[in-house]
Amino acid sequence: MKMKLVPSLLAASHSFTQMKKQLAPLVKRGLIDAVHVDVMDGEFVENYTLDWLNAELVAKLRKAFPKLFIEVHLMVHAPSSYFDEFAKAGANRIWVHVESIDNEKNLNNGLKKHKKVEFGPALNPETRISTLKGNLRSVLIMSVHPGKGGQRLIPATLTKVKQLRKRFPLMTISIDGGVDVKDIKQIEKAGASEAVCGTAVFKGNDVQNVLRLERQL
């Protein structure tokens, strides 16, 4: 199956009006059907995005693009405390870093409460896949160190993707970080189902950038 491209709004305009203008032609032409919202608290990672990449933005996106699949990437301490607001705002999937899980009881309670929302673990580059537990539908592999956009993909992280694909043929495996036109083909060959793309989409002409990435697949 062809790998899906998921634009990261971290690289999009901070103005929601401008963000809508960026996304509208991509959605209208069927070039994308999902977006990635990076939520950073300034503690788990250095960067802070809750002033604009937050539940209010998710709610606005849900209203503006009702059919869009919205995934929220929680790069925060105490992730379970964010579940309610993002689930109620309209998130379809929430990624939770295994390195940030503060309280497994609270985490499990949150998962049970929001059964309509898909939850998946996210792994930092140094975190081994042996930390994954349970019967998982999806996983997010960080191919850069989380917290900043514009980094180069760490090639060794593709080994994780290959190992996971071999063990779990039907799992949704998403890769996030440093994805560009030069690396997109080897990411697909490694076995990724989805690739989160930031500057590769939003730096320059968004439509042409997505079409350029698509031509490599």
Name the active-site residue from 38, 180, 183, 206: 38
Sign of CA dihedral 34, 199, 57, 83: positive
Say how far apart CA 85 and CA 56 lie, in whole Å.
9
Verify whether residue 38 is a known catalytic residue. yes
Say how far apart CA 70 and CA 156 lie, in whole Å.
28
Which residues, including other chains, have CB under 8 Å from residue 103's CB and lie 6 or more apart?
Answer: 78, 80
User: Token pair of 166, please?
Assistant: 């071999």
Name the active-site residue from 176, 180, 183, 206: 176
Verify whether residue 183 is a known catalytic residue. no
Catalytic residue numbers?
Answer: 38, 176
